[in-house]
Amino acid sequence: MTPTRKRRLIAVSLILIAIGIAAALTVLALSRNMSYLFSPSEVLAGKAPDGSSFRLGGVVLEHSIRRAPGSLTVDFVVTDRIHEMPVQYTGVLPDLFREGQSIIATGSMQGNHFTAREVLAKHDETYMPKEVADAIAKAKAVEAAKHAQPLH
């Protein structure tokens, strides 16, 4: 390698390392401050901004969805399995909105319930045919029944 090329190689490598370190520090700083959403427990602990808009994240509690007849208003409860938060929303819900689904609601607190402007459904990284999902659910139910029996 000629001296010029060696010098260029060192210069370019040093710049790359410097930028890499700068980026890593930025990412570290951001991951401490960046909060995309608050859980019901955090909201009840007073960590969410008061009066202004924020995102509430959690799972739609089973058997909690109540639709007001003749309107698009829906009442449901969001839970993080520790604390619960009643939510009211008027509008069209995404396809994936259902009981037991992770959702992210944007809105603000109105008294002791959360009024959502927008409800987004989160989906996980698992993809499988419906038959497989049903088979897994059935196997789990059988397994659970087996474990439940010795108690009787």
List residues near other proteins by CB under 8 A: 5, 8-9, 12, 15-16, 19-20, 22-23, 27, 30-31, 34-37, 57, 92-97, 104, 118-134
**8 A C-beta contact, residue 108 and residue 115:** yes
* Contacts of residue 78, Cβ cutoff 8 Å, sequence gap at least 6: 40, 56, 57, 58, 59, 60, 61, 84, 85, 87, 103, 105, 114
**Closest distance of CB 56 from other proteins, Å:** 13
Using the minimum distance from each CB to other proteins, give the nearer residue, 46 or 129.
129
**8 A C-beta contact, residue 61 and residue 22:** no
**Closest distance of CB 112 from other proteins, Å:** 25
Amino acid, res. 81: R
Using the minimum distance from each CB to other proteins, give the nearer residue, 22 or 139.
22
**Closest distance of CB 148 from other proteins, Å:** 26
Using the minimum distance from each CB to other proteins, give the nearer residue, 118 or 150.
118
What is the distance between the alpha carbons of residues 57 and 122, in angstroms, rounded to a whole number? 10
**Closest distance of CB 150 from other proteins, Å:** 32
